Amino acid sequence: MRGSLMNRRAVQKFRQALISTVASVKIKLVLGLCIGFTLIALAGRASEFMGWTSHSASLERFSDSRKGYAIVMNTWKRYDLLKQSISHYSRCPRLDSIHIVWSEPSPPSDSLRKTLYHITELNTRDGRRVELKFDINKEDSLNNRFKEIPDLKTDAVFSIDDDVIFPCSSVEFAFDVWQSASNTMVGFVPRMHWVDPTNGHRDHYIYGGWWSVWWTGTYSMVLSKAAFFHKKYLRLYTNEMPASIKEYITKNRNCEDIAMSFLVANVTGAPPVWVKGKIFEIGSTGISSVGGHSEKRTHCVDRFAAEFGQMPLVPTSVKAVDSRNIWFW
Protein backbone atom coordinates (compact mmCIF):
# COMPACT_ATOMS: atom_id res chain seq x y z
CA MET A 1 0.00 0.00 0.00
CA ARG A 2 2.81 2.38 0.96
CA GLY A 3 4.76 1.46 -2.20
CA SER A 4 1.69 2.13 -4.33
CA LEU A 5 1.27 5.59 -2.75
CA MET A 6 4.91 6.44 -3.40
CA ASN A 7 4.57 5.37 -7.02
CA ARG A 8 1.55 7.64 -7.44
CA ARG A 9 3.42 10.60 -5.98
CA ALA A 10 6.35 9.91 -8.29
CA VAL A 11 4.04 9.83 -11.30
CA GLN A 12 2.41 13.12 -10.24
CA LYS A 13 5.82 14.79 -9.81
CA PHE A 14 6.85 13.49 -13.22
CA ARG A 15 3.66 14.87 -14.81
CA GLN A 16 4.15 18.26 -13.11
CA ALA A 17 7.75 18.39 -14.28
CA LEU A 18 6.69 17.44 -17.79
CA ILE A 19 3.95 20.11 -17.86
CA SER A 20 6.39 22.73 -16.55
CA THR A 21 8.95 21.78 -19.21
CA VAL A 22 6.39 21.93 -22.01
CA ALA A 23 5.15 25.32 -20.82
CA SER A 24 8.71 26.61 -20.67
CA VAL A 25 9.37 25.37 -24.19
CA LYS A 26 6.19 27.06 -25.46
CA ILE A 27 7.13 30.37 -23.84
CA LYS A 28 10.63 30.21 -25.30
CA LEU A 29 9.21 29.29 -28.70
CA VAL A 30 6.78 32.26 -28.64
CA LEU A 31 9.56 34.61 -27.52
CA GLY A 32 11.83 33.23 -30.22
CA LEU A 33 9.17 33.79 -32.90
CA CYS A 34 8.55 37.34 -31.67
CA ILE A 35 12.27 38.13 -31.79
CA GLY A 36 12.54 36.52 -35.22
CA PHE A 37 9.64 38.55 -36.65
CA THR A 38 11.09 41.71 -35.12
CA LEU A 39 14.49 41.06 -36.71
CA ILE A 40 12.88 40.37 -40.09
CA ALA A 41 10.85 43.59 -39.88
CA LEU A 42 13.91 45.59 -38.85
CA ALA A 43 15.92 44.09 -41.68
CA GLY A 44 13.20 45.02 -44.14
CA ARG A 45 13.29 48.62 -42.95
CA ALA A 46 17.05 48.91 -42.56
CA SER A 47 17.40 50.97 -45.71
CA GLU A 48 14.83 53.43 -44.38
CA PHE A 49 16.76 53.87 -41.13
CA MET A 50 19.98 54.51 -43.07
CA GLY A 51 18.57 57.73 -44.55
CA TRP A 52 17.57 59.10 -47.91
CA THR A 53 20.73 58.03 -49.73
CA SER A 54 19.86 54.33 -49.48
CA HIS A 55 18.06 52.46 -52.25
CA SER A 56 15.83 49.44 -52.41
CA ALA A 57 17.40 46.62 -54.38
CA SER A 58 13.96 45.25 -55.18
CA LEU A 59 13.26 48.30 -57.32
CA GLU A 60 16.14 47.55 -59.70
CA ARG A 61 14.09 44.86 -61.42
CA PHE A 62 11.91 47.62 -62.91
CA SER A 63 14.76 49.65 -64.38
CA ASP A 64 14.73 47.95 -67.78
CA SER A 65 11.16 46.68 -67.89
CA ARG A 66 9.19 49.92 -67.70
CA LYS A 67 9.34 53.33 -69.28
CA GLY A 68 10.93 55.84 -66.94
CA TYR A 69 10.30 59.41 -65.90
CA ALA A 70 11.97 62.80 -66.24
CA ILE A 71 12.79 65.10 -63.35
CA VAL A 72 12.11 68.81 -63.87
CA MET A 73 13.96 70.59 -61.07
CA ASN A 74 13.42 74.22 -60.18
CA THR A 75 16.45 76.03 -58.75
CA TRP A 76 17.67 79.53 -57.93
CA LYS A 77 21.22 80.38 -56.80
CA ARG A 78 21.57 77.43 -54.43
CA TYR A 79 24.35 75.50 -56.10
CA ASP A 80 25.26 73.33 -53.12
CA LEU A 81 21.66 72.19 -52.78
CA LEU A 82 21.46 71.61 -56.52
CA LYS A 83 24.55 69.38 -56.44
CA GLN A 84 23.17 67.46 -53.47
CA SER A 85 19.81 66.90 -55.14
CA ILE A 86 21.31 65.85 -58.48
CA SER A 87 23.68 63.48 -56.68
CA HIS A 88 20.74 61.83 -54.94
CA TYR A 89 18.10 61.63 -57.66
CA SER A 90 20.51 60.50 -60.39
CA ARG A 91 20.71 57.19 -58.52
CA CYS A 92 16.98 56.46 -58.79
CA PRO A 93 16.46 53.29 -60.91
CA ARG A 94 13.89 54.42 -63.48
CA LEU A 95 15.01 58.00 -63.93
CA ASP A 96 15.51 58.81 -67.60
CA SER A 97 16.55 62.47 -67.59
CA ILE A 98 16.99 65.56 -65.41
CA HIS A 99 15.97 69.00 -66.67
CA ILE A 100 17.20 71.92 -64.56
CA VAL A 101 14.93 74.97 -64.86
CA TRP A 102 17.42 77.86 -64.99
CA SER A 103 15.99 81.37 -64.65
CA GLU A 104 19.01 83.26 -63.32
CA PRO A 105 20.31 86.35 -65.16
CA SER A 106 23.64 84.64 -65.96
CA PRO A 107 23.93 81.19 -67.56
CA PRO A 108 25.30 78.30 -65.49
CA SER A 109 29.07 78.40 -65.20
CA ASP A 110 31.25 75.87 -66.96
CA SER A 111 32.47 74.57 -63.60
CA LEU A 112 28.89 73.96 -62.40
CA ARG A 113 27.97 72.18 -65.62
CA LYS A 114 31.09 70.04 -65.45
CA THR A 115 30.48 69.12 -61.82
CA LEU A 116 26.85 68.14 -62.36
CA TYR A 117 27.64 66.12 -65.50
CA HIS A 118 30.40 64.33 -63.57
CA ILE A 119 28.09 63.56 -60.64
CA THR A 120 25.44 62.17 -62.97
CA GLU A 121 27.95 60.02 -64.83
CA LEU A 122 29.38 58.59 -61.60
CA ASN A 123 25.92 57.61 -60.34
CA THR A 124 24.83 55.86 -63.54
CA ARG A 125 27.65 53.39 -64.10
CA ASP A 126 25.34 50.37 -63.73
CA GLY A 127 24.37 50.38 -67.40
CA ARG A 128 21.84 53.19 -67.09
CA ARG A 129 22.24 56.53 -68.80
CA VAL A 130 20.62 59.60 -67.26
CA GLU A 131 20.57 62.66 -69.48
CA LEU A 132 21.19 66.01 -67.75
CA LYS A 133 20.05 69.24 -69.39
CA PHE A 134 19.80 72.92 -68.48
CA ASP A 135 16.61 74.59 -69.69
CA ILE A 136 17.75 78.21 -69.94
CA ASN A 137 15.10 80.95 -69.61
CA LYS A 138 15.53 84.63 -70.43
CA GLU A 139 12.83 85.77 -68.03
CA ASP A 140 12.81 85.16 -64.28
CA SER A 141 9.35 83.70 -63.68
CA LEU A 142 7.92 80.84 -61.66
CA ASN A 143 5.97 79.91 -64.79
CA ASN A 144 9.25 78.65 -66.25
CA ARG A 145 9.02 75.44 -64.28
CA PHE A 146 6.01 74.46 -66.39
CA LYS A 147 7.28 75.50 -69.82
CA GLU A 148 6.86 72.85 -72.49
CA ILE A 149 9.98 70.72 -73.12
CA PRO A 150 9.87 69.70 -76.81
CA ASP A 151 12.42 66.87 -76.62
CA LEU A 152 11.06 65.21 -73.50
CA LYS A 153 11.22 61.45 -74.06
CA THR A 154 9.04 60.22 -71.20
CA ASP A 155 5.36 60.78 -70.51
CA ALA A 156 5.92 61.05 -66.77
CA VAL A 157 7.32 64.26 -65.27
CA PHE A 158 8.45 64.46 -61.65
CA SER A 159 8.43 68.13 -60.68
CA ILE A 160 10.71 68.81 -57.71
CA ASP A 161 12.39 71.72 -55.94
CA ASP A 162 16.14 71.67 -55.43
CA ASP A 163 15.82 71.73 -51.62
CA VAL A 164 13.52 68.73 -51.22
CA ILE A 165 14.75 65.14 -50.99
CA PHE A 166 12.67 61.97 -51.04
CA PRO A 167 14.14 58.46 -50.88
CA CYS A 168 14.33 56.86 -54.31
CA SER A 169 12.06 54.09 -53.03
CA SER A 170 9.34 56.68 -52.32
CA VAL A 171 9.78 58.31 -55.73
CA GLU A 172 9.60 54.95 -57.50
CA PHE A 173 6.46 54.01 -55.57
CA ALA A 174 4.85 57.34 -56.49
CA PHE A 175 5.75 56.63 -60.12
CA ASP A 176 3.95 53.27 -59.87
CA VAL A 177 0.90 55.05 -58.44
CA TRP A 178 1.01 57.63 -61.24
CA GLN A 179 1.11 54.88 -63.88
CA SER A 180 -2.24 53.65 -62.57
CA ALA A 181 -3.73 57.17 -62.82
CA SER A 182 -1.58 58.96 -65.39
CA ASN A 183 -4.04 61.80 -66.12
CA THR A 184 -4.01 63.17 -62.59
CA MET A 185 -1.34 64.62 -60.31
CA VAL A 186 0.36 62.29 -57.85
CA GLY A 187 2.43 63.93 -55.16
CA PHE A 188 3.77 64.09 -51.63
CA VAL A 189 2.64 67.51 -50.37
CA PRO A 190 -1.17 67.85 -50.02
CA ARG A 191 -3.12 71.05 -49.54
CA MET A 192 -6.82 71.90 -49.23
CA HIS A 193 -9.37 74.56 -50.14
CA TRP A 194 -12.86 75.15 -48.81
CA VAL A 195 -15.70 77.63 -49.13
CA ASP A 196 -15.21 80.72 -46.95
CA PRO A 197 -17.87 80.34 -44.20
CA THR A 198 -17.72 84.04 -43.33
CA ASN A 199 -18.75 85.12 -46.82
CA GLY A 200 -22.36 85.06 -47.90
CA HIS A 201 -21.50 83.79 -51.39
CA ARG A 202 -20.29 80.31 -52.25
CA ASP A 203 -17.74 81.55 -54.76
CA HIS A 204 -15.17 82.69 -52.19
CA TYR A 205 -12.63 80.20 -50.91
CA ILE A 206 -9.92 79.74 -48.30
CA TYR A 207 -6.55 78.07 -48.88
CA GLY A 208 -5.65 75.47 -46.27
CA GLY A 209 -2.09 74.44 -45.46
CA TRP A 210 -0.75 71.20 -44.01
CA TRP A 211 -2.53 71.53 -40.67
CA SER A 212 -5.88 71.80 -42.44
CA VAL A 213 -5.15 68.53 -44.22
CA TRP A 214 -3.99 66.90 -40.98
CA TRP A 215 -7.10 68.02 -39.08
CA THR A 216 -9.72 67.13 -41.70
CA GLY A 217 -8.02 64.22 -43.48
CA THR A 218 -9.06 65.85 -46.76
CA TYR A 219 -7.10 67.54 -49.55
CA SER A 220 -7.75 68.88 -53.05
CA MET A 221 -4.24 69.71 -54.30
CA VAL A 222 -0.74 68.22 -54.29
CA LEU A 223 1.97 70.83 -54.67
CA SER A 224 4.31 70.72 -57.65
CA LYS A 225 7.36 70.97 -55.38
CA ALA A 226 7.16 67.16 -55.36
CA ALA A 227 4.62 65.69 -57.79
CA PHE A 228 4.22 63.51 -60.87
CA PHE A 229 2.08 64.57 -63.81
CA HIS A 230 1.83 63.86 -67.55
CA LYS A 231 4.03 65.92 -69.85
CA LYS A 232 0.96 67.08 -71.78
CA TYR A 233 0.22 69.46 -68.91
CA LEU A 234 3.44 71.34 -69.66
CA ARG A 235 2.07 72.02 -73.14
CA LEU A 236 -1.35 72.98 -71.78
CA TYR A 237 0.15 75.27 -69.15
CA THR A 238 2.37 76.95 -71.76
CA ASN A 239 -0.31 77.39 -74.40
CA GLU A 240 -3.70 77.30 -72.64
CA MET A 241 -3.22 78.80 -69.19
CA PRO A 242 -4.89 82.26 -69.14
CA ALA A 243 -2.30 84.97 -69.66
CA SER A 244 -3.70 86.95 -66.72
CA ILE A 245 -2.93 84.07 -64.35
CA LYS A 246 0.63 83.71 -65.63
CA GLU A 247 1.18 87.46 -65.38
CA TYR A 248 -0.10 87.45 -61.81
CA ILE A 249 2.27 84.59 -60.91
CA THR A 250 5.27 86.37 -62.45
CA LYS A 251 4.46 89.61 -60.67
CA ASN A 252 3.76 88.11 -57.24
CA ARG A 253 6.25 85.20 -57.37
CA ASN A 254 3.72 82.78 -55.92
CA CYS A 255 0.92 80.30 -56.68
CA GLU A 256 2.24 78.61 -59.84
CA ASP A 257 1.65 75.28 -58.07
CA ILE A 258 -1.97 76.19 -57.36
CA ALA A 259 -2.40 77.16 -61.03
CA MET A 260 -1.11 73.76 -62.16
CA SER A 261 -3.49 72.01 -59.74
CA PHE A 262 -6.38 74.02 -61.22
CA LEU A 263 -5.30 73.13 -64.76
CA VAL A 264 -5.08 69.37 -64.15
CA ALA A 265 -8.34 69.24 -62.17
CA ASN A 266 -10.11 71.25 -64.86
CA VAL A 267 -9.02 68.68 -67.47
CA THR A 268 -9.72 65.53 -65.47
CA GLY A 269 -12.60 66.48 -63.19
CA ALA A 270 -10.88 64.23 -60.65
CA PRO A 271 -8.89 64.73 -57.45
CA PRO A 272 -5.12 64.28 -57.18
CA VAL A 273 -3.49 61.40 -55.31
CA TRP A 274 -1.47 61.99 -52.15
CA VAL A 275 1.38 59.54 -51.65
CA LYS A 276 2.80 59.06 -48.17
CA GLY A 277 6.55 59.60 -48.14
CA LYS A 278 9.37 60.72 -45.89
CA ILE A 279 10.49 64.23 -46.82
CA PHE A 280 13.90 65.76 -46.12
CA GLU A 281 14.05 69.56 -46.31
CA ILE A 282 17.71 70.37 -46.98
CA GLY A 283 17.36 74.10 -47.58
CA SER A 284 16.42 77.12 -45.51
CA THR A 285 12.84 78.25 -45.09
CA GLY A 286 11.14 79.48 -48.26
CA ILE A 287 8.30 81.82 -49.13
CA SER A 288 5.84 79.74 -47.09
CA SER A 289 7.46 81.08 -43.90
CA VAL A 290 6.95 84.72 -44.90
CA GLY A 291 4.17 86.61 -43.16
CA GLY A 292 0.87 86.73 -44.99
CA HIS A 293 1.63 83.64 -47.05
CA SER A 294 -1.72 81.95 -46.39
CA GLU A 295 -3.64 85.12 -47.21
CA LYS A 296 -1.79 85.44 -50.52
CA ARG A 297 -2.56 81.83 -51.38
CA THR A 298 -6.22 82.34 -50.48
CA HIS A 299 -6.32 85.29 -52.88
CA CYS A 300 -4.83 83.05 -55.60
CA VAL A 301 -7.49 80.36 -55.08
CA ASP A 302 -10.23 82.98 -55.31
CA ARG A 303 -8.71 84.70 -58.33
CA PHE A 304 -8.02 81.49 -60.26
CA ALA A 305 -11.52 80.14 -59.63
CA ALA A 306 -12.93 83.35 -61.10
CA GLU A 307 -10.61 83.06 -64.11
CA PHE A 308 -11.63 79.45 -64.74
CA GLY A 309 -15.29 80.32 -64.28
CA GLN A 310 -15.70 77.58 -61.70
CA MET A 311 -13.95 75.74 -58.87
CA PRO A 312 -12.33 72.72 -60.58
CA LEU A 313 -10.54 71.37 -57.49
CA VAL A 314 -12.04 68.11 -56.20
CA PRO A 315 -11.57 67.16 -52.51
CA THR A 316 -10.66 63.62 -51.55
CA SER A 317 -9.46 61.67 -48.52
CA VAL A 318 -7.64 58.89 -50.40
CA LYS A 319 -3.95 58.36 -49.60
CA ALA A 320 -1.57 55.91 -51.30
CA VAL A 321 0.66 54.04 -48.85
CA ASP A 322 3.39 51.53 -49.67
CA SER A 323 2.40 48.62 -47.42
CA ARG A 324 5.86 47.08 -47.78
CA ASN A 325 7.28 49.81 -45.55
CA ILE A 326 4.80 49.70 -42.68
CA TRP A 327 3.98 47.00 -40.15
CA PHE A 328 0.24 47.56 -39.85
CA TRP A 329 -2.04 48.81 -42.65
Active site residue 257: yes
DSSP 3-56: HHHHHHHHHHHHHHHHHHHHHHHHHHHHHHHHHHHHHHHHHHTHHHHT-TT---
| Residues 194, 208 contacting (CB under 8 angstroms) | yes
The conformation of residue 316, written as its DSSP 8-state character, comes to B
| Residues 147, 241 contacting (CB under 8 angstroms) | no
| Residues 218, 186 contacting (CB under 8 angstroms) | no
Count of all residues that appear for the chain in the document: 329
H or E stretch covering 161: strand 156-161
Distance CA 201, CA 190 (A): 26
| Phi/psi-derived region of residue 77, left when phi > 0, alpha when psi is between -120 and 50, beta in every other case | left
Question: Looking at 161, 162, 163, 257, which residue is catalytic?
Answer: 257
Alpha carbon distances (Å) from 231 to 159, 221, 236, 237: 10, 18, 9, 10
The conformation of residue 219, written as its DSSP 8-state character, comes to B
Point out the residues that are catalytic.
Answer: 257
